[in-house]
Structure 1
Amino acid sequence: MNKKRIGLIGAAVGTSAAIGVGAVVAARRYAVGRARLAPDPDAGEPFGELRGRPLTVEATDGVPLHVEIDGPDDAPFTIVFCHGYALNQDCWHYQRRDLGRDGDLRMVFWDQRSHGRSGRSDLTHATVDQCGADLFAVLEATVDPDTPVVLVGHSMGGMTIMALADAHPELFESGRIAAVGLINTSSGELAELTLGLPMAFGKVFKATLPRVTRTLGGKPAELIDRGRRVGADVAFMVTRRIAFGDKNVSPTVVDFLEQMIRATPIDVIAAFYPTLAAHDKLAALEVFADLPALVVVADEDRLTPAAHGRAIANALNDVELVEVAEAGHVSMMEHPEIVTQALVRLIDRVRRVEEEERSA
């Protein structure tokens, strides 16, 4: 493969793969340029500055996982948030801010392996199943066995929850997992995933990815810099269409999203791509089919289309399906008030169940 072709594919990996967007750098140029004539209500938002009590949890293969805990340790239950592909725990900024205002909720946020502040994984362990094992380790280290847990996952984070259910159904059957929230995610059939690229280029991308990954392992710095510079030009054409559904999305939010993606090394993005394409956990949904559940889909999500979320909801018996209009793949950032209120309703359902069990 010649250097020009590797650079082009590297650009796609580094800037498209993160959330199904073409390249988020150009989104900032486009969105900020348009927004200069209008006020940006999120301009002063302290993105990335909300921090909790830190804890390092060791995964089964020794990778250190960065965990943060908010709220009182004696809360009646704990909410564990699992972020998506190429993001980190800070993508839950609005939910962390707003759900934490009452001070009576205990929340656990963690960075998936090779993401955020967590340690790097080797290639063989960059899988959804390993992420499920990581979530189990986080639960064991942060939540008392008698404390009910609400699991909330976005995109790959939702897949992580499904992997946990597949490997440890006893957690769900025993009542330790009290409820599940799945946001912009899928239970499988992502083999044709093109990450927001045109179909023809997406097929080339998929066929070339293994060789790109090996090349990145050999000389990452040069390819990262070159590829992401090329990707900035690609981004201008596709980011707004793929990343967001709302044409009035805050440029500050776009900028924050870009920073998270840029902080994820390009070889990490490439390493996790095959496990997303191969993801198939439809059967795992049966494990928590009777638990209180929330499924959030977005009408313009091109990475995990709304049909995938509806299929999940159809497999569950006690579920609220929330369909967000004018939203892309990161609905918890694009329309945080809708997602947060849906989580509040899920939490209220859990509280009612807990109260009924205590009074029985």
Structure 2
Amino acid sequence: MRIPRRAGIVSAAVGLAAAGLAAGYAAQRAWVRRSRGGADPYADEPFGDLPSDEVRLVTAADGTDLYVEVVEPTDGIELDFAVGGVALPPADPTIVFVHGFCLDMGTFHFQRRTLTRRGDHRMVFYDQPGHGRSKSLASGEYRLSALGDALRAVIDETTGDGPVVLVGHSMGGMAVMALAERHPDLFTGRVAGVVLMSTSGSVLGGARIGLPTLAARFARPLLPLVHHGARLTGPVIDQARRASADLAYLLTRRYGFGGPAPSPALVSYVERMNARTSAETVARYLRTLGTHARHPALAALRDVPTLVIVGGRDVITPPEHSEEIVQHLPDAALVTVPDSGHVVMLEHPDEVDAALLAFLDRVMPGGDA
């Protein structure tokens, strides 16, 4: 099939730019490897391979099938009601995790591992539309409002009538805000707590909202192609992705992490999640993410215990975005992890887990929330 001339020009420009940047980034990556002396604390970590008690598909309101995994508590909690044939605790909330753009449920690898070992929390993980093992939207662009509805479907299908705690990272936090905007009734009884990680109430000021870096860099020239046909942009972005593995790795390291020498295995894991998100999905999300503006929706969270976590070196959704959320939610707690970037829960899991566990203990029955 003959590629239209305009698409070919954009493809060539992206490819040349990627190739030109690759040489410098390859040298930097080699320096990173030498500086670590080959040691990698996560070299044998089973990223993306944690057990679940149930796997199911949940169909969102727009017909998109969402891949869901459920982890049940194992510490002998007395159970007294059921959903899908599985008994649930009478009072303890189910924790629903919502990942960010171009990632998947594996974003919460360390939190899932920690909470599974504790065995006293029920957890639900799902891949957002067009991500991971969930299906893509049949046609049209993705809408944040639809992501809020998708989250509602997951809650309805996996948590019975019990309380929930929502944990959203980046675009996942935006999905939580969209849920609050469209279904504020949930936040007057069902939602026992909200955790917002590395997210923003509005990206109109220019946050890159978690785009894979090449897509973000070339988003402006690609948007006309998105408007005239998202499929045309797929080969263009895919060619840029293939231009250099070193470039993809170093851009992931630069824009996802804040520390000077993150684990190579961890950086590669995040890069693989980025790469598994199809170019068509990237293109079909670009416009709607750029129009995110949901500070008014935060009003639904005013009476809900809320924890906000951000990396001090996050260049995608910088700390001031989290600080602005807290201005709208004066009772929310803000935790800033100084040496972390955008994937704070992966880069500094100990700090994030400690804050999350303290928050869960506070919002659980008998806590002091």
Q: TM-score per shorter chain, which class?
A: 0.7 to 0.9
- Give the equivalent residue in structure 2 for 1:43: 43
Matched residues in 2 for 1:210 and 1:237: separation? 28
Please say if 1:170 is aligned against 2:171: no
Please say if 1:3 is aligned against 2:3: no
Counterpart pick for 2:280 among 259, 267, 270 = 267
- Give the equivalent residue in structure 2 for 1:253: 266
- Give the equivalent residue in structure 2 for 1:226: 239
- Give the equivalent residue in structure 2 for 1:184: 198
Matched residues in 2 for 1:45 and 1:236: separation? 18
- C-alpha displacement of 1:144: 1.4
Contiguous gaps of at least 5 residues in structure 2 = 1-5, 74-86
Matched residues in 2 for 1:66 and 1:206: separation? 31
Flag the 1:9–1:283 CA change in 2: closer, same or farther, 3 A.
farther
Q: What's the TM-score once normalised by structure 1's chain length?
A: 0.85
- Give the equivalent residue in structure 2 for 1:17: none
- Give the equivalent residue in structure 1 for 2:82: none
- C-alpha displacement of 1:240: 3.4
Flag the 1:150–1:212 CA change in 2: closer, same or farther, 3 A.
same
- C-alpha displacement of 1:328: 0.8
Matched residues in 1 for 2:100 and 2:27: separation? 20
Matched residues in 2 for 1:27 and 1:106: separation? 45
- Give the equivalent residue in structure 2 for 1:302: 315
Matched residues in 1 for 2:125 and 2:107: separation? 10
Counterpart pick for 2:335 among 322, 336, 340 = 322
- C-alpha displacement of 1:317: 3.4
Matched residues in 1 for 2:35 and 2:128: separation? 33
Counterpart pick for 2:176 among 161, 173, 177 = 161
Matched residues in 2 for 1:194 and 1:88: separation? 18
Flag the 1:151–1:246 CA change in 2: closer, same or farther, 3 A.
same
CA contact (8 A) 1:78 1:106 kept: yes
Bigger relative contact order (CA 8 A; separation at least 6): 1
Flag the 1:31–1:327 CA change in 2: closer, same or farther, 3 A.
farther
SS of equivalent residue, structure 2 residue 40: coil
- C-alpha displacement of 1:207: 4.3
Q: What's the TM-score once normalised by structure 2's chain length?
A: 0.83
- C-alpha displacement of 1:267: 1.2
- C-alpha displacement of 1:195: 6.7
The one-letter code sitting in structure 1 at the alignment partner of 2:306 is A
Task: Determine what percentage of the aligned residue pairs are the same residue.
Answer: 41
CA contact (8 A) 1:9 1:212 kept: no
- Give the equivalent residue in structure 2 for 1:68: 69
* Root mean square deviation, CA, Å: 3.0
Matched residues in 2 for 1:218 and 1:78: separation? 41
The one-letter code sitting in structure 2 at the alignment partner of 1:61 is D
Matched residues in 2 for 1:60 and 1:27: separation? 48
CA contact (8 A) 1:9 1:227 kept: yes
The one-letter code sitting in structure 1 at the alignment partner of 2:101 is Y
CA contact (8 A) 1:180 1:292 kept: yes
- C-alpha displacement of 1:289: 1.2
Please say if 1:280 is aligned against 2:293: yes
- C-alpha displacement of 1:305: 0.8
CA contact (8 A) 2:141 2:288 kept: no
Flag the 1:27–1:338 CA change in 2: closer, same or farther, 3 A.
farther
- C-alpha displacement of 1:318: 2.6
- Give the equivalent residue in structure 2 for 1:110: 126
SS of equivalent residue, structure 1 residue 101: helix
